[in-house]
Structure 1
């Protein structure tokens, strides 16, 4: 089980400061969609150059032109790139094809997919690397969580790793770990903590126990 730090509400200098505090305890650092919108793929490049030992995920939420956008993210140094599960099959296949050429990985974000189980089965067959269930900011405000969705994809997925994101905090992490995803994605649960380093360390210990 791996731990991913999602950076959403920061600029490049702030992102570097946060990652520097917690880099010993995380496996992947995610340049979140708001950061990409504000800073562009420069943010991916800057974090990869500053922390070459960490995997960097570019949360592009690709919806079209999968091959091209994966190529550009790869050039910036992204190790993993996200595509939306509601995208056309050809977009996902194009992203996977380009990722294979570049030696990168594809994560499919299942946000707003109406039939999680059926779509996960289709997407798994396309050769993606991760399938992620995701309660977005707006979902969290409505009290939604992703455990049922995670259980649904775990029933059908044979090849891809499973990931879970959305509102995970230190006190809810044990419940997440019980659901046995391959990757746990935490944003504000670390970045909003009074002591980021201590929180990340505790999360790392819990994740390690779940392996």
Structure 2
């Protein structure tokens, strides 16, 4: 089951765990349900965390990044399978506004080649992502994470996909720059405690 929050509940959760996080994500489902106002609401609700708008854009990317920035996003996401021209446009727009672009590698087939290309284009983050449907089949992002880390030089590497308290140690041991934990926090009985425990594990490896 996917646990969906509305923008107010998401902001409430973010405030509760903010002391243990660097970035808070407004996920794609919330953006689909409520629009970029959810990004704006989050931006106004947190004090120190950066806001990532997980838009997974692919077309008219310069414009869409500009809108994400307008509504308070510090980081926007684009799909790695997008055209090079679209990715370059998104990077340019983000950087012109002093913001960052995260390239989501979901469904990318040749990780090594594409990660190298994206790194050369100037992507801020390259994110290995095991999609929800593959998570349900027990697929882990670890091997893909190792592949991407082995080839990038300038970009930071992020990892997402079913990461929770009982799996984060193995992920943190690979030393990615950003670990994205969604349901592992939102679905926890005590989200604040789960976030602190995740942060403690990450800090051990940083």
Structure 1 residues without counterparts, runs of 5 or longer: 1-6
Alpha-carbon spacing, 1:13–1:81, altered in 2? closer, same or farther (3 Å): same
Distance 1:70 1:8 in 2: 26
1:45–1:76 Cα contact (<8 Å) kept:
yes
| 1:130 corresponding residue in structure 2 | 125
Q: Is the 1:8–1:187 contact (alpha carbons within 8 Å) kept by the matching residues of 2?
A: no
With normalisation by structure 2, the TM-score equals: 0.97
Alpha-carbon distance in structure 1 between the residues aligned to 2:76 and 2:4: 19
User: CA deviation digits over 1:151-201, x for unaligned, max 9?
Assistant: 111111000000100001111111001111110000011110101111111
Change (3 A) 1:197 1:162: same
In the TM superposition, 1:177-196 aligns within 5 A as 177-196=172-191
Instruction: Tell me the distance in 1 between the aligned counterparts of 2:205 and 2:164.
Output: 16
User: Structure 1 stretches (4+) deviating beyond 6 angstroms?
Assistant: none
Paired residue for 1:14?
A: 9
> Match for residue 151 of structure 1?
146
Q: Of 30, 50, 57, which aligns to 2:25?
A: 30
Give the gaps of 5 or more residues in structure 2: none
SS in 2 for 1:142: coil
Match of 1:172 among 167, 172, 182: 167
Distance apart, 1:8 and its partner CA: 6.7
Q: 1:94-109 maps to which residues of 2 (within 5 A)? A: 94-109=89-104
Query: Size of the alignment, in residue pairs?
Result: 205
For normalisation by structure 1, the TM-score amounts to 0.95
Distance 1:167 1:175 in 2: 13
Aligned alpha-carbon RMSD (Å): 1.1
Kept after mapping to 2: 8 A contact 1:168/1:186: yes
Counterpart contact for 1:108–1:132, Cα < 8 Å: yes
Contact 1:8 1:33 in 2 (8 A): no
3-state SS, counterpart of residue 156 of structure 1: coil
- Equivalent residue for 1:116, pick from 111, 117, 120: 111
Match of 2:51 in 1: 56
